[in-house]
Amino acid sequence: MRRLILPALLALQYAFAQSGPQPPCGTAPVPLWAALGETASVKSWSDSGAGRDWKPPACVGWTDAGFTTLVTTAARFRHTTGADGLLRRIGAISELSGMRYWSTTHQQWQTLIVQAYALDAAQPPRRRRDFTVDELKPGHALPYVQIDNLTGRSVYSLRILESAPDRIVCDVENITTLRYFLFPVFAPGDIRTIVFLDRESEAVWRYYGIMRIGRNVSRRIAGNDASAVNRAVAFYRHLVGIPTGEEPPTAP
């Protein structure tokens, strides 16, 4: 009997582990980071069955459950300027301008972000220079504008959740409605990304990102999984210094 029960328990444990992503919060992540030098491990979870019932792990800090589309990106990358260098990259909002991705609809590389710039906290907010490392402290919500190739101008909020020499966690969400040809398609908070950056050695870091489209967005509006994958990979490549239009595309 024991020979029958043990394999069943292991199978159940494996199935449970695969029911949704697990960020690196004291346990090994799901999926695991790709090896250094390999392409990132990218997974779309929209067909996993987790969908509307998925509950974000506590360390993510998201309170609303479920998703329409969710993409995880896990990789290792070389980086030699430490945590401050990564924070500078995160705060350099203007450098998002010109980011490229592979359009599965048009089957070609296209500009994903036409323009981006930081905002100050005044009302009404005004355009300003990129955020500095000193401003990127836990607890601060830093607004910025992102002009997307499809949905146009929208305002996002950048928050640093953790900042230490060996670990950075940042969270980004849209705080204004995104529109397509004047029609609202994404409500505030519908698009959210969290990134965990962990130092592995002096010159090697680990990247784990979760990009989520909220569960109340229709699949027709949210788009196909391949498009979401390519957009998530574009942000990963930008942050770690890989050309965003580099061949081959992750999801052709």
Q: Domain limits at 58?
A: 29-240
**Mind listing the pLDDT tens digit for each residue in 70-112?**
999 999 999 999 999 999 999 999 999 999 999 998 899 999 9
The alpha carbon of 152 is separated from its chain's Cα centroid by a whole number of angstroms, namely 19
pTM: 0.90
User: Does residue 103 sit within a domain?
Assistant: yes
**H helix count then E strand count, the chain:** 4, 13
Whichever domain contains 111, its CATH number is: 3.30.530.20
**Mind listing the pLDDT tens digit for each residue in 150-182?**
899 999 999 999 999 999 999 999 999 999 888
Is residue 251 within 8 Å of 229, Cβ to Cβ? yes
> Looking at the 3D structure of the chain, how many domains does it have?
1
Beta-ladder partners of 168: 163, 197
Question: What is the identity of the amino acid at 112?
Answer: L
User: Does residue 170 sit within a domain?
Assistant: yes
User: Does residue 250 sit within a domain?
Assistant: no
Which residues, 6+ apart, have CB-to-CB distance to 204 below 8 Å?
36, 76, 77, 78, 79
User: Does residue 153 sit within a domain?
Assistant: yes
Secondary structure (3-state) at 193: strand
User: Does residue 2 sit within a domain?
Assistant: no
